[in-house]
A and B are shown apart, each in its own frame.
Chain A
Amino acid sequence: MTESTVILVLVIVTALGFDFTNGFHDTANAMATSIATGALRPKMAVALSGLLNLVGAFLSVEVALTVTNAVVNLQTSNGTPKESLTADGGVALLLIILAGLVGGIVWNLLTWLLGLPSSSSHALFGGLIGATVAGLGWAGVNWNGNGSKLDGVVGKVILPAFLSPVVAGIVAAAGTWLIYRAVVGAATKYTENGFRWGQIGSASLVSLAHGTNDAQKTMGVITLALLASGHWTSTSSIPFWVKVCCAVAISAGTYLGGWRIIRTLGKGLVEITSPQGMAAESASAAVILASSHLGFALSTTHVATGSILGSGVGKPGAQVRWRVAGRMVSAWLITLPAAGLVGAIMWYIGDALGGVAGAIAIFVILLAAAGYMYLRSRKEPVGHHNVNDEWDETTAPAERVPANTAG
């Protein structure tokens, strides 16, 4: 095997690892409310969501080759890698992608450990931006696009992050308010059953949309790596095995279920009822679908969180734990720079050691960090058995993890 083939294999494994974390990080977006209200048993909910993500990933045959173009200048506009980066068998480009992916995974695992629903796409983009800045300098980043359409870090990442939770929140609040007005006079016991079905249906739509949106990103990244190392030449299609691997990785991750995050979203923000759950998931599904249609890139996590908050605001007398919401928002704000920082450090380490040794070194660092965080998580396990326990601010997992693990 040549040098670039070895690195390529590491990139593919790491990319699938990222896809897997993306899956379990986002199970909560679709299923947290259904689990919290008891509309679906926890195991059933993650199985349904995993299956729908699998289906969704296969539906996304649209070529996502230019996914990195939104934030960095690694590719030309038709998807082929920049020639200056492929001179040495693609090693330069592969190292940037690998370092970026490691940044994304490390941040995803850390926020999972803290039970915080941060955006996986921000983590991926953040890691890639950091690694690109380290490798190519600030000019390698596409900050604003060329001004002709919504593009660049500002247009595709930062502005949507501020706007999409607000939009989702307004829709969910309106929906919740309308639903409660509509059923005045009917017995809650009777309506509950109907709303559970509504909740399951709307949550399923969110899962499906998630599979089509998020699996695509990893498919694009892997194909870019294959192009860079000369193992693939078409810019109008993606290798079928890449599609299969990404679909399986994201749905396996979803099925594993990020229980810590499910708990925060389902129990931590709002004590949610079935009508609120239905309103929140419907708002999420509608906003995600409408946005992808209009080319407005957004993070399913931001939308889902905004929707759940909105459903708390829209129900008269409901309690919203703004402290928990505040903690989430601060995690959102630092996701991009934090993942970027990890990505940049990884690139410097990889570059200093050079070639295969550098790539293997950062891969080992990733394994060590992942292993450490997994062991930390076992001290306060959250699973399908205790995901719905009463939320107590003082014993929430996020509160008990000492600050020194954040380094």
Chain B
Amino acid sequence: MVNNLQFSLEAVWKVLLAGLVLGAGLPLIFALGVRSLAWGAGGDAEVHAGGSAGPKPQPVGTVIGWVLFAIVLAGIALGITFIVAGGLGKQLSFEHIFPTIVDKKH
């Protein structure tokens, strides 16, 4: 019981940390991408006073937006690789920072 509680707490903070980075971090990047696209589009995509035309479009916002989406997509691709690799008895290693697929440790 005491051992299990200890093991759980050890696992839980890691899950929380990974969860915050991937589960809240990626959505934040995505939201910033959406925000950036709105900035890029200008006009009615931005909150502005009624009757006025709204801010001018900012093309750089569109570019930044899509770069941010690409980062999110890369994150998701990693997630899927993770599932597939796990199913095939492999695992992702971040030993060399760049993710590589290696045999599962037991």
A: residues with CB less than 8 A from B are: 56, 59-62, 144-145, 147-152, 154-155, 159-160, 163-164, 167-168, 170-172, 174-175, 178-179, 182-183, 185-187, 189-191, 194-195, 198, 201-202, 205, 208-209, 212, 275, 278-279, 282-287, 289-296
Asked if B64 is at the interface (CB within 8 A of a chain A CB), the reply is no
- The smallest C-beta distance from B94 to any residue of chain A, in angstroms, reads 12
* A282→B21 CA distance, assembly (Å): 11
Nearest B residue to A291 via CB reads B15
Q: Which residues of A contact B103 (CB under 8 A)?
A: none
Nearest A residue to B8 via CB reads A159
Assess A195 versus B16: contact at CB under 8 Å? Given A155-B4, A187-B47, A278-B27: no
Assess A155 versus B7: contact at CB under 8 Å? Given A167-B16, A212-B83, A285-B23: yes
Assess A183 versus B82: contact at CB under 8 Å? Given A190-B45, A282-B23, A282-B26: no
Nearest B residue to A145 via CB reads B4
In contact, B28 and A60 (Cβ under 8 angstroms)? no
In contact, A190 and B19 (Cβ under 8 angstroms)? no
* A20→B3 CA distance, assembly (Å): 35
In contact, B5 and A185 (Cβ under 8 angstroms)? no
B: residues with CB less than 8 A from A are: 1, 3-5, 7-8, 11-12, 14-16, 18-24, 26-28, 30-35, 37-39, 41, 44-47, 76, 79-80, 82-84, 86-89, 91
Q: Which residues of B contact A195 (CB under 8 A)?
A: 31, 34
* A292→B92 CA distance, assembly (Å): 13
In contact, B8 and A209 (Cβ under 8 angstroms)? no
- The smallest C-beta distance from A166 to any residue of chain B, in angstroms, reads 9
Q: Is the interface of B mostly helix, strand, loop or mixed?
A: helix
Residue of A56, A148, A187 near B45 (CB, 8 A) is A187
Q: Of residues B28, B82, B88, which shows the largest number of chain A Cβ atoms within 10 Å of its Cβ?
A: B28
Q: Which residues of B contact A212 (CB under 8 A)?
A: 83, 86-87
- Interface contacts beyond A144-B4, A187-B46: sample of 14 additional A-B pairs, CB < 8 Å, sorted by A: A149-B7, A164-B15, A172-B23, A182-B28, A182-B35, A186-B35, A186-B47, A187-B45, A212-B83, A282-B26, A285-B23, A286-B18, A290-B18, A293-B18
Q: Which residues of A contact B19 (CB under 8 A)?
A: 167-168, 170-171, 283, 286-287, 290
In contact, A179 and B28 (Cβ under 8 angstroms)? yes
Assess A183 versus B31: contact at CB under 8 Å? Given A171-B19, A171-B20: yes
* A62→B44 CA distance, assembly (Å): 51
In contact, B86 and A208 (Cβ under 8 angstroms)? no
In contact, A59 and B83 (Cβ under 8 angstroms)? yes
Q: Which residues of B contact A182 (CB under 8 A)?
A: 28, 31-32, 34-35
* A149→B6 CA distance, assembly (Å): 10
In contact, A171 and B30 (Cβ under 8 angstroms)? no
In contact, A175 and B28 (Cβ under 8 angstroms)? yes
Residue of A183, A189, A275, A286 near B23 (CB, 8 A) is A286
Q: Which residues of B contact A60 (CB under 8 A)?
A: 87
In contact, B23 and A283 (Cβ under 8 angstroms)? yes
> Nearest 9 pairs between A and B by C-beta?
A286-B23, A186-B38, A175-B24, A290-B18, A155-B4, A59-B87, A182-B31, A194-B34, A286-B22
In contact, B47 and A194 (Cβ under 8 angstroms)? no
In contact, B83 and A186 (Cβ under 8 angstroms)? no
In contact, B33 and A194 (Cβ under 8 angstroms)? yes
* A154→B20 CA distance, assembly (Å): 26
Q: Which residues of A contact B7 (CB under 8 A)?
A: 149-150, 155
In contact, B15 and A154 (Cβ under 8 angstroms)? no
Assess A183 versus B35: contact at CB under 8 Å? Given A167-B19, A289-B83: yes
Nearest B residue to A192 via CB reads B34
* A64→B1 CA distance, assembly (Å): 25
